[in-house]
């Protein structure tokens, strides 16, 4: 009986010790700044969302978001949140499309995502559709689990596939006289609902 009692005591003690460690980690997180929490690859989604909300409209460099979005040591939802924050904070209606693309062209998260021009309408778009606009869709870091995160941009004047590919690839010298501007930005996909993306 004494042996069984000793084993039970050790299990309880070990459990209490783990609780203390977890409690200390949570306390450390509470004392950290929002940027430190976002930059910590052990941060869970709930903590990440709170940190982003606390960050508010504070100025944060594009490099900060790009570095995390590029790093595979972070879990995929963490990386997607950072892409969304990068675009939310840097993409503005009226800015030139080429200037916007320069913010993250060549980043590994960018090359791991998919761009396309929306030629046909299937379902409801999160932005206004007009015949004078081109609708561009970015599928952010697509996954096999269908954790979909789409960002839509409307651009004016209209741009065809070849011109868009030239801009995406950085070969835009022949388009220097064109003035492609972002008109509207919208977000869609089950990732936004599943992870309570703050906007």
Rounded Cα gap, residues 188 and 126, in angstroms: 7
Tens-digit pLDDT profile for residues 149-191: 999 999 999 988 888 887 777 765 555 546 789 999 999 988 8
Residues 6+ apart with CB under 8 A from 176: none
Q: What is the pLDDT of residue 72?
A: 95
Rounded Cα gap, residues 199 and 196, in angstroms: 9
Range with the poorest average pLDDT among 74-83, 102-111, 168-177: 168-177
pLDDT top residue among 72 and 170: 72
The mean per-residue pLDDT over the stretch 58-65 comes to 94
The mean per-residue pLDDT over the stretch 44-60 comes to 93
Tens-digit pLDDT profile for residues 107-118: 999 988 998 898
For the chain, give every domain's residue range. Answer: 32-194
Contact call for residues 187 and 199 (beta carbons, < 8 A): yes
């Amino acid at each position: 009986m004494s042996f069984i009692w000793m084993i039970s005591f050790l299990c309880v003690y070990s459990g209490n010790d783990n609780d203390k460690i977890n409690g200390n980690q949570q306390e450390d997180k509470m004392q950290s700044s929002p940027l430190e929490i976002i930059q910590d690859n052990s941060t869970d989604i709930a903590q990440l969302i709170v940190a982003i909300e606390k960050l508010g409209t504070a100025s944060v460099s594009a490099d900060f978001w790009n570095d995390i979005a590029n790093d595979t040591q972070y879990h995929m939802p963490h990386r997607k949140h950072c892409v969304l924050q990068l675009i939310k904070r840097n993409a503005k209606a009226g800015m030139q499309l080429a200037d916007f693309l320069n913010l993250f062209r060549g980043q590994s998260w960018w090359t791991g995502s998919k761009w396309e021009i929306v030629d046909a309408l299937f379902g409801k778009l999160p932005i206004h559709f007009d015949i004078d606009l081109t609708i561009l869709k970015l599928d952010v870091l697509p996954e096999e689990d269908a954790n979909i995160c789409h960002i839509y941009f409307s651009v004016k004047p209209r741009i065809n596939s070849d011109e868009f590919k030239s801009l995406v690839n950085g070969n835009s010298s022949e388009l220097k006289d064109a003035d492609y501007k972002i008109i509207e930005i919208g977000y869609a996909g089950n990732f936004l609902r599943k992870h309570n993306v703050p906007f």
